[in-house]
Homo-oligomer: A and B are copies of this chain.
Amino acid sequence: MAKKPDNPYVVQPVMKALRVLELVARHGHEIALTAVSKELRIPKTTTFRYLQTLTAAGFLDHNRSTDRYNLGPQLRAIARADASVSKIRALARPAMIELMHEFNETVNLAVKGNGTVVYIDLVEANRSLRMQARIGESHPMHSTALGKAILAFLPEAERRRQLDLPLTEMTGRTLLEREEIERQLRQVVRAGYATEMGENEDGAMCVGVPILDEDGYPVAALSISAPLMRMPRSLAAKAGTRLREVAATISVQFGSHPTTTAL
């Protein structure tokens, strides 16, 4: 338990600090410096520093009045985000496969990042010419159907904040005018789905819809992407309608989790 002779690359301070974090967490309630120090056999001074660091990073919470530490918001946020992503992915996957077969094009799933969408899953069509992002990649919100679908359903204030950021030009067709974007977003709300034509990547287009949580907040988006030539307007409209149906189902299933933060 004390010796870690195996991996020569483990950084001691980090390892010990993690032990502290774990102990505090497992304790299930506030715990004082001395107790941690005694339990882990780490000198008080060192323990103190770790507790301070963990607190500064938000992984722990320091109760000034009792001088005790317990789990902090950061850790909970991370865990929550992770659970959320896993859940969406699990819920969406079967439907994505179905959609892929239906249209024989790649289906994408992304969550809202900060000013971007982050791909968390995709089901590729079995065609030689296919549009594909990579899981984990971030793309701008304003140049993708995924992003537009999310933007359109974001609360007023947040949407404005997003559009105030400098908008990068991905292709010659990328929308950069505030006016034009907002006009499109209103259109997205009406139609229930967003489209993008060569605005993110030349020759590629995409149809996307938001996945909403119980409060109607767009936590993620689902899309079908294809080469421009293979997806005429009429087919895109059909895809949009299907996506809407699918996303609605996922949204409902997703909205059952309590998501309670401890006070």
Contacts and interface: CB of A to CB of B under 8 A. Distances in A.
Top 7 A-B pairs, shortest CB-CB distance:
A79-B79, A9-B52, A14-B17, A25-B78, A18-B57, A86-B262, A10-B53
A27 B57 contact: no
A52 B257 contact: no
Contacts of A29: 85, 120, 135-136
A112 to B, nearest CB: 11
Interface in A212-263: 257-258, 260, 262
Chain A interface bracket (under 10, 10 to 19, 20 to 34, 35 or more): 35 or more
Interface in A18-74: 18-19, 21-22, 25-31, 35, 48-50, 52-54, 56-57, 59, 71, 74
A17 B11 contact: yes
6 contacts: A11-B50, A13-B13, A14-B50, A29-B85, A30-B135, A31-B136
Nearest to A10: B53
A3 interface: no
A30 B80 CA distance: 17
Contacts of A135: 29-30
Given A79-B76, A258-B257, A9 B136 contact: no
B136 A56 contact: no
B118 A56 contact: no
B82 A14 contact: no
Given A7-B56, A35-B136, A257-B258, 10 more contacts: A11-B13, A11-B53, A14-B50, A26-B81, A27-B136, A28-B81, A29-B135, A30-B136, A75-B75, A78-B79
Contacts of A87: 260
A15 interface: yes
A4 B56 contact: yes
Given A29-B135, A86-B262, A120-B29, A10 B78 contact: no
